[in-house]
Amino acid sequence: MGSGVFEIALPFKGDAYRTIYAVQLGEAIWVIHAFQKKSPKGIKTPQQEVEVIKARLKRLKEELS
């Protein structure tokens, strides 16, 4: 997804996981996407979610430059 993008996965109501993608740009940390993921590991992030993350990261970098 790009350097500096971090995945944070948290348990939520049993076996569902809330996955959050964040990036640090300058002194700020920006949350660029969050979605519900059913598995804590072993399953890749769906391609549709990856595309959303990439697009939002690109837009954020453009707006901050």
User: Residues 1-55: pLDDT tens digits?
Assistant: 566 888 887 777 776 677 888 998 889 999 999 888 776 666 778 899 999 999 9
Integer Cα distance of 19 and 27 in angstroms: 23
Phi, psi for residue 57 in degrees, rounded to 5: -65, -45
Helices (H), the chain: 47-64
Q: How far is CA 15 from CA 10, 24, 41, 48, 59, in A?
A: 10, 29, 11, 22, 33
Write out the residue range of the structural domain in which residue 55 sits.
5-64
pLDDT score recorded for residue 40? 65
Q: What total number of domains does the chain contain?
A: 1
Written as six digits, the tokens of 10 are 């948290």
User: Cβ atoms within 10 A of the Cβ of 41, count?
Assistant: 7
Global pTM value: 0.77
